[in-house]
């Protein structure tokens, strides 16, 4: 390495010197020779006949492939759960299992368990209206039971 010269620059200089020595020994002039990669004189893509013939070939291959592929089955329409058809207040009261002995904790537990099965976000979109009706009635019944408990509670 020369003074005030980086290692990289000294390697580049040495390679240039060796390259000049090789040219002088061989008697070749770099400007006269052209750069060519041997073996790449031909194209990579084989030329075929007309474009229409190749399209027919592709279509026939595609059709042959599709014969082996089974068609997807039609999706079955969703089936409404039986409990969503129970929309009268008496049916919902039975489903909730409300009684006069319920306290705050049991009413909260009944609300959560009823919502787990009937909340509109947890059922198929086709049945959300029924679920919404059931939840509305159930929440009203539980709120009324909570109000009765609050009125009857001794202070």
**Residue range 93-125, pLDDT digits in tens:** 999 998 888 899 999 999 999 999 999 999 999
Helix axes 104-118, 128-152, angle to 10 degrees: 180
**99 within some domain:** yes
Give the span between the Cα atoms of 93 and 134, in whole angstroms.
10
53-65: buried (b, 16+ CB within 10 Å) or exposed (e) per residue?
Answer: eeeeeeeeeeeee
pTM: 0.52
Percentage, residues of the chain above pLDDT 90: 37
| Number of structural domains the chain divides into | 1
**129 within some domain:** yes
**82 within some domain:** no
Question: Residue holding tokens 């082996």?
Answer: 68
**122 within some domain:** yes
């Amino acid at each position: 390495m020369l003074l005030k010269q980086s290692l990289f620059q000294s390697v580049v200089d040495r390679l240039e010197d060796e390259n000049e020595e090789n040219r002088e020994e061989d008697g070749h002039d770099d400007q006269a020779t052209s750069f060519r990669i041997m073996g790449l004189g031909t194209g990579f893509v084989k030329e075929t006949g007309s474009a229409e013939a190749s399209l027919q070939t592709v279509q026939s291959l595609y059709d042959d492939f599709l014969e082996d592929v089974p068609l997807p089955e039609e999706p079955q329409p969703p089936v409404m759960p039986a409990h969503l058809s129970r929309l009268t207040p008496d049916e919902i009261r039975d489903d909730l299992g409300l009684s006069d002995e319920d306290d705050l904790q049991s009413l909260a537990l009944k609300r959560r368990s009823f919502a787990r099965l009937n909340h509109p976000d947890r059922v198929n979109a086709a049945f959300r209206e029924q679920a919404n009706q059931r939840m509305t009635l159930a929440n009203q019944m539980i709120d009324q039971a909570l109000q009765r408990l609050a009125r009857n509670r001794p202070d």
